[in-house]
Structure 1
Amino acid sequence: MNRNRLTYATLSLLTIALGLASRRYQAMLPTWVGAYVGDALWALLVFWLVGFSWPRWGRRRAAVVALGFAFLIEASQLYQAPWLNALRATTPGRLVLGQGFLWTDLLCYTLGVLAGVGLERLWQRAKAKTS
């Protein structure tokens, strides 16, 4: 696989915008969207960033690394060191590291990475048909 870095940078920025919007306008969205979509988008962003960073990796490897990273970040929320909590109290720290462990987040991360895998597959098939 050979990913286009410009495409993955664009996808990353779009995903960040959607994720921030899902939090900012949470009150206007259905409850389940406000509660879960931001976490799925966060994991999707991680998948895009892995694809951007290692464009020649296969889809499966990128997905495993992205999901592993997301799960490690979630597990790190079980560790409540004062310095880490201070970092989590900042906006960037909260966005990247989260605040509290939730089992449902693991499902959201899985769905977000699977969405990235599915979108890549669709683009590859569409690209193959036009070639």
Structure 2
Amino acid sequence: MKTYRRIVFGILIALIPIGLASKYYQGPLEFWVNNSFSSIFYEMFWMFLVVLILPRLSPGWVAFWVFVVTSALEFMQLWKPPFLQAIRETLIGRLVLGTTFVWGDFLYYVLGCAIGWLVLRTLKAKWVNS
């Protein structure tokens, strides 16, 4: 279990600069990378964070609940009360809560959770279940 947690921690740490780089990428397909593709890393980050804290959880359940919670956050972007708008004006608020509801984001949430699930399932099979 220790090796599993170390690998999960390493991937989690690697996802931070990768996710931020995708959010602020400038170049070909910039809009798509910044606003859609980056959501894959967002989902994976939350999955790896949950597994780091609770390593015995099933990767499937982690993927499911991360998708549910981040989808709820996506729908919350339709709600614009002053206190949420104030949070969204900060960098962390924009990164965590988002600013604009987009139906297409759900595809990237599914992709991020699917990739995260595959990686976590593979790691768990190799380092925990063997």
TM-score tier by shorter-chain length is 0.7 to 0.9
Do the aligned residues in 1 keep the contact of 2:47 with 2:113 (CA within 8 Å)?
Answer: yes
Aligned to 2:104: 104
SS of 1:4's equivalent in the other structure is helix
SS of 2:118's equivalent in the other structure is helix
Do the aligned residues in 2 keep the contact of 1:3 with 1:55 (CA within 8 Å)?
Answer: no
The alpha-carbon deviation at position 90 of structure 1 amounts to 0.2
What is the TM-score when the length of structure 2 is the normalising length?
Answer: 0.85
* Uncovered stretches (5+) of structure 1, i.e. residues with no partner: none
Q: Which runs of 4+ in 1 moved over 4 A?
A: none
Deviations 1:77-127 (A, max 9, x none): 1110011001001001101110011111111111101000112233355x3
Q: Which has the higher contact order (CA 8 A, sep 6+)?
A: 2
The alpha-carbon deviation at position 12 of structure 1 amounts to 1.4
CA distance in 1, matches of 2:38, 2:123: 23
Do the aligned residues in 1 keep the contact of 2:19 with 2:42 (CA within 8 Å)?
Answer: yes
Distance of aligned partners of 1:9 and 1:123 in 2 relative to their CA distance in 1, 3 Å threshold: closer
Aligned length: 127
The alpha-carbon deviation at position 55 of structure 1 amounts to 0.7
CA RMSD between the two structures: 2.2
What is the TM-score when the length of structure 1 is the normalising length?
Answer: 0.84
Aligned to 1:39: 39
CA distance in 1, matches of 2:60, 2:51: 11
Q: Which amino acid aligns with 2:37?
A: V
Using the aligned pairs only, state the percent identity.
Answer: 31
Deviations 1:14-54 (A, max 9, x none): 111101111222x2243443442211110111111121121
Distance of aligned partners of 1:3 and 1:52 in 2 relative to their CA distance in 1, 3 Å threshold: farther
